Structure 1
Amino acid sequence: IIIAQFLFLDAEGKGKDIKFYINTPGGSVTAGMAIYDTMQYVKSDVSTICVGIAASMGAVLLAAGARGKRFSLPNSEILIHQVMGGFEGQASDIKIHSEHILRIREKLNKILAKHTGQPISTIEKDTDRDHFMSADEAVKYGIVDKVIIK
């Protein structure tokens, strides 16, 4: 439904920014990548606003907003980490899935590096384990541009 809303707002908005409020513990990487691709596709700028938490794929989407239009409320938290998954089956299938998840990790790290301005080596190190940030730390990291204070 988010993708449909982006497309509708882009078509109807005539150049107006699309505001995307994010409060999520994360979720499916494939669903998140579909949202990411749509954010990059629409002509309208997508302004991202973290309200609560932007974890995992949510942090990637938060960072992917239009430069200068990525915000966080002061008590929000941001979490980046490497992609997770679990598999069972034959050894050959497990190998296929493990190679796939490593490719996804590499893709997400490149996306974070692109949108934050951090070197890929920093992203790889910081996403190796759960890396929580406050709103102010997320500004310094390049995930958001500004903390919104009344």
Structure 2
Amino acid sequence: MQIANKFLQIKNQSEQSADVYFYGDIVSSEWGKWENTDTCPEDVRDFLTQVEGVKNLNIYVNSGGGSVFAGLAIYNMLKRNSAFKTVHVDGLAGSIASVIAMAGDKIVIPSNAFLMIHKPWSGIVGNSDDMRKTADDLDQIEQGILNVYAENLKEGVDINTIKQMVNDETWLNGFEASKYFNVEVSQENEMVACTSDYFKNYSKIPQQFAKPQNQSNETKKELSQQNKINQMLIELSII
């Protein structure tokens, strides 16, 4: 059975389990959506209400990131849900989507899928005081994200190691991620394609995610990106 819940896919629901897919960008609200795969916190809230009482929740992630506050809200909603949560990173859990992935009681990353972590950034308009405050705010946001990562570290891994990886923008395949985080590595599979309006802002994108799009898709992405830039000028974002 498949349930339509605005833009969030809910599949295979039963009394025992439900599947949910994060297969687009993470946005702050309904009006921020420019693709039918984008997800906002209201979608997740409504989804969890519909599947209340299920014992197992399967979460599939293939996202390049999005709004930091939306992602943290989604992480917290999933984290406090009583179901046993298994996260499957099908292609990419990038940026704030890597935080959402950490909500799982069990996290599975194929050897050819990726976890990407980096520093939060924001668009800002204002004077020097505004910009100094934004820098301080971003440092606090980064610490909140590091707190989530710290809860999922393998024994013996120092959070300062992860902080440096965040500073450097680090892409980890399944095997590499398992060296630092409590994740399970599954066999390599045919990686699900992942596109994101945010990819042009990353500096170390693996070749798998850097394939050119056709012209019609590119034009569509450019229009979408401009709208999201306008949105980011009024809210702090991690992308």
- TM-score computed with the length of structure 1 as normaliser: 0.87
Post-superposition offset of 1:143:
5.0
**1-structure distance, mates of 2:61, 2:49:** 18
Post-superposition offset of 1:74:
3.1
1:108 pairs, out of 128, 142, 145, with 145
1:74 alignment counterpart = 111
What runs of 5+ residues in structure 2 fail to find an aligned partner? 1-42, 190-239
Name the structure with the higher helix share: 1
Q: Matched residue pairs, number? A: 145
2:46 alignment counterpart = 4
**2-structure distance, mates of 1:62, 1:144:** 10
CA contact (8 A) 1:71 1:148 kept: no
SS at the partner of 2:151? Answer: helix
**2-structure distance, mates of 1:124, 1:22:** 23
Q: Which AA in structure 1 matches 2:45?
A: I
SS at the partner of 1:23? Answer: strand
Q: Which AA in structure 2 matches 1:49?
A: H
**2-structure distance, mates of 1:110, 1:125:** 14
**Greater RCO structure (CA 8 Å; 6+ sep):** 1
Question: Which structure's CA Rg is the greater one?
Answer: 2
SS at the partner of 2:92? Answer: strand
- Sequence identity (%): 24
What runs of 5+ residues in structure 1 fail to find an aligned partner? none
**1-structure distance, mates of 2:76, 2:160:** 24
Listed as ranges, the matches of 1:46-85 within 5 Å are 46-66=85-105, 69-85=106-122
